[in-house]
């Protein structure tokens, strides 16, 4: 009987923790934007549907520009110029998405926690045309909390961590092993 109670307790704890949303002073809840995408810009949505590892937020950079933290059960939008971008994800590990974005389109990158040695690791999965997530991502976005960066906090974070980001940009642009840690988005992956 005692073993059954322990199993029930653990199952309830996992269920409760799996449903938790992340939070930080760098990102705050907001109303999702209304209207379309500016025709001269691209929009990249960073979605983190999982509630696991809710206490760990993942850094997301566009090269050496800090753009936000990916938090559990939430998403944020990054409006940017079309063209080439290198989105870096920083956790216990470092990953990147090399993107070539078209104007007037929206793109999706799903961030997911993975078991790490000391803390959570990060997986960044670009939603590409024909992928399993392609038809699910719009509904997924509707189930998540929309967050926006707090500009002053983001500026402070960016200046404190910029050297680390610049070293990562150098690695992901020049190192022979970079392809092991890099995925891709192409213009046709936009909607």
Query: Average pLDDT, whole number, for the chain?
Result: 87
Per-residue pLDDT reduced to its tens digit, 89-143: 999 899 999 999 999 999 999 999 988 777 788 999 999 999 999 999 999 999 9
Q: Does the pLDDT at position 53 exceed 70? A: no
Q: Does the pLDDT at position 15 exceed 60? A: no
Cβ 124 vs Cβ 97: under 8 Å: yes
Give the mean pLDDT of 62-91: 96
Maximum distance among all Cα pairs of the chain, rounded to whole angstroms: 64
Q: Please give the Cα distance from 164 to 157 (Å, whole number).
A: 11
Q: Does the pLDDT at position 14 exceed 60? A: no
Give the mean pLDDT of 68-90: 97
Residue scoring higher pLDDT (157 or 58): 58
Give the pTM: 0.85
Q: Please give the Cα distance from 111 to 150 (Å, whole number).
A: 20
Q: Does the pLDDT at position 20 exceed 90? A: no
């Amino acid at each position: 009987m005692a073993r059954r109670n322990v199993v029930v307790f653990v199952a309830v704890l996992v269920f409760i923790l799996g449903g938790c949303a992340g939070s930080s002073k760098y990102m705050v809840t907001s109303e999702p934007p209304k209207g379309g995408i500016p025709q001269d810009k691209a929009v990249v949505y960073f979605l983190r549907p999982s509630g696991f590892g809710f206490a760990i937020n993942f850094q997301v950079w566009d090269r050496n520009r800090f753009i936000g933290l990916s938090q559990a059960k939430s998403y944020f939008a990054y409006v940017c110029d079309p063209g080439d971008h290198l989105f870096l994800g920083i956790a216990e590990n470092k990953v990147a998405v090399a993107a070539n974005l078209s104007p007037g389109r929206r793109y999706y990158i799903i961030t997911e926690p993975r078991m790490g040695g000391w803390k959570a690791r990060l997986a960044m999965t670009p939603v590409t045309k024909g992928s399993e997530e392609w038809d699910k991502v719009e509904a997924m976005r509707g189930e998540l909390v929309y967050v926006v960066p707090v500009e002053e906090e983001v500026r402070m974070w960016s200046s404190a961590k910029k050297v680390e980001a610049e070293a990562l940009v150098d690695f992901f642009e020049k190192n022979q092993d970079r392809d092991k840690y890099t995925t891709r988005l192409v213009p046709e992956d936009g909607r």
